[in-house]
Chains A and B, each alone.
Chain A
């Protein structure tokens, strides 16, 4: 017996991310998604919180567990697939988006997740990340950003701040960091979101929206490495510091933050700035529009490497036909032209026949 790999016809622009994935027969629990493998991250690692959130949010998608696949690269976070009782591949450094692309193109009935880190996705695998995003392959990418290399024991990463002292930069890093959200927007990603590992509610909401998005969805997750970069996001966690820094955004709502919304995001020049809400006319408070790419770019630039501000939520979400849907549609369209004749293919236009020592040339019909 073989598994049916049939490819249903579709109108790519009308579909949600999971619409071709078979629905679960019965309600599922986080426990159903928990594998028998012992979790081996360091105590206090932010990955635990993300794992718990993922195990809890997957059942809410109501899709069949066996149609869920997690593909990861290399790094601490890339151990993730082992801890979920779904299909999974722990692949090689940086290549998970490429592997997931082949899988997503061949199998529209799967919900494909990529788990990666700041080194895996932005350094060795930067090329695959930007191309998966621009192609808009139907996959959900969880980018764990702890701004350090953990598995290789503490070298700076492509998101580490300038001046960072690490094992490989004893007098401080001189590398300018990437902002993953800005990079994804630059690659024309159709879904870009950000969440904090410890913010279970916010993280789950962004992850669910990302999984239901048809196309490539990038979710940057700020996450602590307690061993090599402890407290790197503390300014976003401690209430006093977070007050004027953490900017949650919701599509259609004015962007205000802090206690009682005391801060507001306003336009300044071609970009955005933060001002006390009390000093701003209500109509001047920017209303978040996740379909406005200009706004998304400006929001991304509010977040600096010093974490002076950090925008969380769904920063961009637009519909664009996905690469995999279009690719499959081309194959289906070609197949609809009639049965493919292998004999006709291999014979080609001009043949001749040899029979019993005689050459018979054949005029083409």
Chain B
């Protein structure tokens, strides 16, 4: 079946391509997708990714429950989302085909590992007849490739066991796709040799499998056409590919460095936040201490203890963990110590959908504590933006001596995109001054005296002579910090803590309204930035006037938020929850807000969101 004839035609140009790799959760689909992403990044494409995998580490082999997929959108221009529907679907078994085929448009390219289409595997997922033979795949451009047996045959000279050899089939698929899309191959081969440096035979097997897949494409007539996607011309700068969790970890390190403080992370492993713990645990050379605590509460407790001692204290978690931490967040509110609380949101309630994304912790972050316990809330809008959001959250925590909630989500955490890497000198100066001397005329130290501008209290760390004082969760007397049950004092302190958070300096909300005449504003927060941006582009291309804005700061809201809301006839808020930001805005400003929501564990698609926004813009477009 292989032909020695190379493709006669030159590669065809594509401006963008969406590829989805789908297979069993043991098939290495995330790794394959990650590696193709790295190739695309190294080539200079713009890109966005969407990993989608089950919570089970190894669900029963070949079942629908065990399907893991990785979608990658890469382009020669700036793109905003991982793509709605794949142009190419690689299905490593019948389960992957069954659960993903519905997303492949007619005419889409389908690449199948025919070896896995055995009667047993077909029966497992309820195929009565094999889709390879029953004509059900006729609407697609199907490539039937015996990936497993081709890989095993190619690896035979290496003397590997059959199981080990079969494991390399994902690299065969990567090699084939790399050939189809004219990707450079040196990077992947080098990467494989480094990754498996300690097991050279496995490294070699993967390199051979990768090359075999590449050669298979080159020499098989069925793949006569190759494509290329040119590099994307983004704004000037140096770029790398980065995931949200990595960018967030780097942002924490950068913030600690700009503050001149050691970084202390207290954390308990939880999906999808654990990678921040993993990343930071490897960065000890930056003065980073990571403490894997016995539970979520100990994680934040230790972080608060470290903050009391003068470190930049951080705790990372996801929704259920945040619920457990909230009493300690309240203690940080009361003791007015700087603390970063990172919530990488996932589907809820309860254990919910650990590996899927959602934005349903917003109200928990804003309100989920006993008493009046205001906490600034900051949300990154994309994987790369998680770096800047982390630095900004640290700025607020350190400047105002307050816990700050940083709300990432699963799509940001595991998704990746190009990141224009910052220079250290361009980052804000976050240096803090610890209190070193008494702060009253008569030589006393008042731990709750306040900076008149920020309302922050002094940060007097243990070990400072003359400033010994006691703090705690009981209500503090204004100034002295002594225990106080005085009604007037409580009233004053509750209002002071609120005023401090209300007064946190945040930039105005920027509105993207090209002709300043749009009747409709689409307002989002967090990871919906990409889909909203892409949907608004589509609407504008279709001739609609539509404005958009995105909130980085949820608490406090930018000072111009109400004015912006009131300057549009219609405000639509798309969210991956049942309308939490919409609820917040309506409650706060008593303005009508239209809510467009999705809670499927998956981000909005660009086309899907454009369609849902169309009625609003169409209605407004009717001449008055």
Contact = CB atoms under 8 A, between A and B. Distances in A.
Nearest to A88: B470
B232 interface: yes
A352 B42 contact: yes
Contact of B328 (A74, A82, A95, A355): A95
Interface in B431-483: 432-434, 436, 461-474, 482-483
Given A98-B298, A346-B250, A350-B38, A106 B240 contact: no
Nearest to B294: A131
Contact of B297 (A22, A67, A98, A352): A98
Given A350-B241, A359-B44, A87 B264 contact: no
Contacts of A354: 44, 233-237, 239
| Chain A, interface residues (CB within 8 Å), range | 35 or more
A81 interface: yes
Contact of A343 (B424, B461, B473): B424
A216 B433 CA distance: 32
B357 interface: no
B462 A66 contact: yes
B294 A128 contact: yes
A1 interface: yes
Interface in B213-241: 231-241
Interface string A305-334: 000000000000000000000011011011
Given A1-B433, A81-B472, A354-B236, A106 B289 contact: yes
Interface in B257-279: 257, 260-262, 264, 266
Contacts of B234: 354
B44 A66 contact: no
B589 interface: no
Nearest to B436: A1
Contacts of A95: 297-298, 301, 328
Given A92-B327, A103-B308, A337 B254 contact: no
B473 A356 contact: no
Nearest to B257: A342
Specify which of A69, A85, A99 lies most central, judged by the most chain B CB atoms within 10 Å of its CB: A99
A275 B478 CA distance: 61
Nearest to A72: B472
Interface string A60-72: 0000111101011
B289 A331 contact: yes
Contact of B253 (A74, A88, A101, A345): A345
Contacts of A89: 305, 308, 335, 470-472
Interface of A: 1-3, 5, 22, 35, 37, 64-67, 69, 71-72, 74, 81-82, 85-92, 95, 98-107, 109-110, 127-128, 131, 327-328, 330-331, 333-335, 337-338, 340, 342-343, 345-348, 350-359, 361
Given A347-B238, A350-B240, A352-B240, 11 more contacts: A1-B436, A2-B432, A82-B472, A90-B474, A98-B305, A100-B305, A102-B264, A102-B266, A105-B302, A105-B306, A350-B38
Top 6 closest pairs, chain A to chain B, by CB: A90-B472, A102-B305, A98-B301, A102-B302, A334-B284, A359-B231
